[in-house]
């Protein structure tokens, strides 16, 4: 057996792919008798500007796959943040999807979902057989867009890009950036004159540069909290890093299970750590928006 021959676990492969944030689309077409058909898909990308080409990957096991194989036209509808119900509808096996959604026929006759951020009405340019999927490449015959926030999807959950506006507003107030960085030994803290605190800098780039100087190659990934304190605003991200050398001065790692027992004088920080411990145990994270006394945790909606 070649050293390159290695069995990839399908479940692990899918989970790894889920770490790539995407938008959410509904791909539509029509049967020969005009009956509309559609399904939810996030494997969409642009291919060419001249000519204008886009593609989407369709699973061969889906009920609508034979219809897309037979049709010469289709449309890709990029969903808006307020269309999570539309995404769920077209991901379901409901037989009356188009009776529950607002839509109209496009130039090619393919259904266009009302309220989408953007849509591409296409004729089939090429079909490519690719394992358990068909790559459907379309030449854009017509398109449209509107001003709205797109719906995002990552790690099995919908993500709202509107939450970034809270971070931008905090930046306008000269916010500091902190990171809840989890290592194999626990969550990373910096020991200072005022006790333990999260690694903090003026911005995420400066924070990572400081950690790299301490031989920590950390990643800063998902937004976890945006809140105001008397000392100023703070943006907190979740992140990961490799093992920390035991003798590294000024750094300390605390196991996640021990976070609630730290009893930090900074009440806002302690409350946030308590929430992190709870959500880490459930592997279901939300985003806190507010101040040190009150606010709301906006959970990421399960798909």
- Residues of the chain with pLDDT below 70 are 1-5, 17-20, 155-157, 159-174, 229-231, 246-247, 288-303
Question: Which CATH fold topology does 162-299 show?
Answer: Nucleoside Triphosphate Pyrophosphohydrolase (3.90.79)
- What tokens were used for 209? 């540069």
- What tokens were used for 136? 């459907």
Q: At 230, is the secondary structure helix, strand, or coil? A: coil
Burial of 222 (0-12, 13-18, 19+ CB in 10 A): middle
Place of tokens 């307020």: 82
If we measure between CA atoms, which residue out of 82, 92, 83, 81 comes closest to residue 38? 92
pLDDT, tens digit (0-9, with 9 covering 90-100), for 73-115: 999 999 998 898 899 899 888 888 999 999 999 999 999 999 9
CATH number for 10-154 (one of 2.30.110.10, 3.40.30.10, 3.40.190.10, 3.40.390.10): it is 2.30.110.10
Q: How far from the centroid of its chain's Cα atoms is residue 13's Cα?
A: 17
- What tokens were used for 226? 């945006």
- What tokens were used for 196? 């333990």
What per-residue string of b and e applies to 240-250 under the rule 16 or more CB within 10 Å gives b?
Answer: bbeebeeeeee
pLDDT, tens digit (0-9, with 9 covering 90-100), for 121-163: 999 999 999 888 999 999 999 999 987 888 877 766 676 655 5
**Domain residue spans of the chain:** 10-154, 162-299
């Amino acid at each position: 057996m070649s050293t390159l021959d290695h069995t990839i676990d399908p479940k692990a492969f899918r989970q790894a792919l889920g770490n790539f944030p995407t938008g959410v689309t509904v791909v539509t077409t029509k049967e020969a008798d005009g009956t509309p058909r559609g399904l939810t898909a996030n494997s969409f990308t642009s291919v060419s500007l001249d000519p204008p080409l886009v593609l989407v990957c369709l699973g061969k096991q889906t009920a609508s796959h034979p219809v897309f194989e037979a049709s010469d036209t289709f449309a890709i509808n990029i969903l808006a943040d307020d269309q999570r119900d539309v995404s769920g509808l077209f991901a379901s096996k409901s037989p009356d999807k188009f009776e529950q959604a607002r839509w109209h026929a496009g130039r090619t006759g393919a259904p266009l979902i009302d309220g989408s951020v953007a849509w591409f009405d296409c004729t089939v340019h090429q079909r490519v057989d690719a394992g358990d999927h068909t790559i459907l490449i379309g030449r854009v015959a017509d398109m449209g867009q509107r001003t709205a926030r797109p719906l995002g999807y990552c790690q099995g959950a919908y993500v709202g890009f509107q939450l970034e506006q809270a971070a931008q507003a905090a930046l306008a107030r000269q916010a500091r950036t902190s990171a809840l960085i989890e290592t194999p030994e626990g969550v990373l803290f910096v020991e200072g004159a005022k006790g333990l605190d999260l690694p903090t800098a003026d911005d995420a780039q400066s924070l990572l540069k400081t950690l790299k100087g301490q031989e920590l190659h950390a990643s800063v990934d998902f937004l976890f909290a945006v809140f105001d304190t008397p000392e100023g605003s703070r943006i907190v991200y979740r992140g990961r890093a490799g093992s920390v050398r035991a003798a590294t001065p000024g750094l300390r790692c605390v196991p996640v299970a021990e976070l609630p027992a730290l009893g930090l004088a900074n009440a806002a920080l302690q409350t946030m750590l308590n929430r992190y411990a709870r959500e880490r145990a459930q592997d279901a994270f939300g985003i806190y928006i507010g101040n040190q006394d009150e606010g709301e945790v906006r959970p990421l909606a399960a798909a």
